[in-house]
Amino acid sequence: MTSTSVALLLAWGMVVGLDLISIPQIMIARPLVAGTVAGALAGDPLAGALVGVLLELFALEILPVGAARYPDYGPAAVAGAATAAGVPTILGLGLAGLVGLVMAFTGEWSILVLRRRNTADVRRNAGRLDVGDPAAVRGVHARCIARDALRALLLTAVGLVLAALVHRWAFLSVRTSVLLLAVLVGVALSTGAAGALRLAHGQRRASLWFLAGLAVGIVLVVWR
Amino acid sequence: MKRGMLSAALRLFTVQGSWNYDRMIGVGLGETVAPLLRDLPGGRDGERYREALARASGYFNAHPYLAGVAAGALARAEHDDVPGERIERLRLALVGPLGSVGDRLVWAGTLPAAAGIGLALAATAPVGVGAAVFLALHNAVHVVLRWWGLGSGWRHGMGVARALAAPGLVVALRVVTPIAGFSLGVALPLVARSLTQGFDHSLLLGTAAVGLVALVLQLRLAPTLGALRIGLLAAGVAILGGLLWR
């Protein structure tokens, strides 16, 4: 991978990390988007798209509601795409998925740290916020966003280092790579199904529509 | 259009940027609503502006896409000279409904619906089509929702509850979850096929078995043990198994 690719991946990771919570929440943080674009930046769009699809299934578990804890799959998909780039799918996708999951887990922890720092900032400035000081409102808000940008950048950098290490040192046998891929695909598909079942929980009509969709999907697979 | 509306609409995209445990998105709401308050009597340096900004920057939480409803309504109430205590009560009263409606409409509705369509296309169409369609579908709803929310809040002011009973919103809440269920249902088999290309029969059976066990675990153990942790555990077992299986 060239230094330009690495710089672009870092920038992209920061942008998608910011998108998850801070700006602009247009869902480029979703792995389907983050992974596909990262794959293109890393020179292997197909690998990036497959990593994106795999991690998107995991992300379907999440409802990023308020104070809920949730993994950060955006920079994770960037790291995954960088891991998978240039490696045959059957050998690289499982390992890329694992790198993605590790980084998503790290991202979840980084969001907790960010929230604590933001809270400390707000408490330090509580007096000024309580009297409606415009500079305090603007300053706190801007610092929190800058903090999130730094978090996303560092997270992506760690992810890319991990991807490089895995590229260089993780010599898994073909059998182990395939086994890893099969296991992750199984868990990912079950997560997508569990996400849909949870959405439809207690709603008979939605459950029926999910089953109807499943039937249409199976027909399409057989037909194709 | 009210002066400052465009600036407030743009700032809405950052409303969650200063999320914290004390005021949640309150500071973001203050930053969003500021352009709508600048022409209060006394201007930017006036007492009214500061009082209104202080009220808007207190504790507040809502779905970020619907926070504009609160921003518009609070700004309008300040311009209508509504007493401060009533504005406080309005702000706190909006927390529950805006969170609940937004979560049902977006996180449990339009987002998974668009993701299902995006996944199905990612598995069947050329690279990039799925991601692009997902983004287009999701943001068509997202941007409209933000702009509509801000405008509705400003129009209704203290009577903003009427905006949440808008017929379009009620119908959307009724149909969006079934649509999400259907699109995810269609997507899953297509994605399964795409990700298992090159698998032989025994590997397909193994993947299905892992999937079933993981499904039961997720439905029984979530949120204690979510998909991410199950995935990491399963990957660890797979690598160990692969290393031992010589």
Distance separating the N- and C-terminal Cα atoms of chain B? 72
Taking the C-alpha atoms of residue B22 and residue A173, their distance in angstroms, rounded to an integer, is 50
Rounded percentage of chain B residues whose pLDDT exceeds 90: 84
Judging contacts by C-beta atoms under 8 Å, the chain B residues touching residue A173 are: 242
Average pLDDT over chain B, rounded to whole? 93
Per-residue pLDDT tens over the stretch A20-70 = 999 999 999 999 999 999 999 999 999 999 999 999 999 998 666 656 778
Query: What pLDDT, on a 0 to 100 scale, did the predictor assign at position A67?
Result: 61
Residue A36 parent element (H or E): helix A31-41
Q: pLDDT tens for residues A5-32?
A: 999 999 999 999 999 999 999 999 999 9
Mean pLDDT calculated for residue range B226-238 = 93
Amino acid letter at B238? A
User: What is this structure's pTM?
Assistant: 0.94
pLDDT(A91) > 70: yes
What is the distance between the alpha carbons of residues A16 and A20, in angstroms, rounded to a whole number?
7
Bridge partners, residue B24, by sequence = B20, B60
Confidence grade of residue B82 (pLDDT, cut at 50, 70, 90): very high
Model confidence at B224: pLDDT above 80: no
- pLDDT, residue B9, reads 96
User: For position A115, what pLDDT does the model report?
Assistant: 96
Confidence of residue B163 (pLDDT cuts 50, 70, 90): confident
Q: Is the predicted pLDDT of residue A203 greater than 80, yes or no?
A: no
Q: What is the reported pLDDT for B246?
A: 63
Quick one: pLDDT at residue B118?
98
| Predicted local confidence at residue A201, as pLDDT | 74
pLDDT band at B245 (very low <50, low <70, confident <90, very high): confident
Within 8 A of B61 by CB-CB distance, chain A residues are 66
Q: Where are the alpha helices (DSSP H) in B13-128?
A: 26-37, 47-56, 67-79, 84-102, 111-124
Average pLDDT of B147-159? Answer: 94
Compute the average pLDDT of residues A79-83: 97
pLDDT of residue B223: 67
Structure tokens at B92: 């706190």
- Residue B133 pLDDT greater than 70, yes or no: yes
How far apart CA B243 and CA B246 sit, in angstroms, is 7
- Separation of alpha carbons A71 and A58, rounded Å: 10
Q: How far apart are CA B146 and CA B165, in angstroms?
A: 16
Per-residue pLDDT tens for A130-156? 999 999 999 999 999 999 999 999 999
Residues A105-132 pLDDT 10s: 999 999 999 999 999 999 999 999 999 9
pLDDT above 80: residue A171 = no
Domain boundaries along the sequence of chain B: 5-193, 200-245
Searching chain A, which residue's CA lies closest to the CA of residue B123?
A53
Counted across chains A and B, CB pairs separated by less than 8 A come out at: 350
Residue A155 to residue A162: CA distance in whole angstroms: 11
SS3 state of residue B60: strand
Tell me how close the Cα of A207 comes to any Cα of chain B, in angstroms.
7
Reported as a pLDDT band with limits 50, 70 and 90, residue B157 is very high
Q: Which of B21, B28, B199 sits opposite A141 (nearest CB)?
A: B28
Query: Which of A64, A116, A175 shows the shortest C-beta gap to B245?
Result: A175
Name the residue with tokens 């992300």.
A59
Task: Provide the 3-class DSSP secondary structure of residue B24.
Answer: strand
ipTM: 0.94
Question: Taking the mean position of all CA atoms in its chain, how far away is CA B199?
Answer: 37
What residue of A is the nearest CA neighbor of B177? A206
For residues B105 and A8, what is the distance between their CA atoms, to the nearest angstrom? 34
Farthest CA pair distance, chain A = 66
Tell me the mean pLDDT in the region A88-106.
Answer: 94
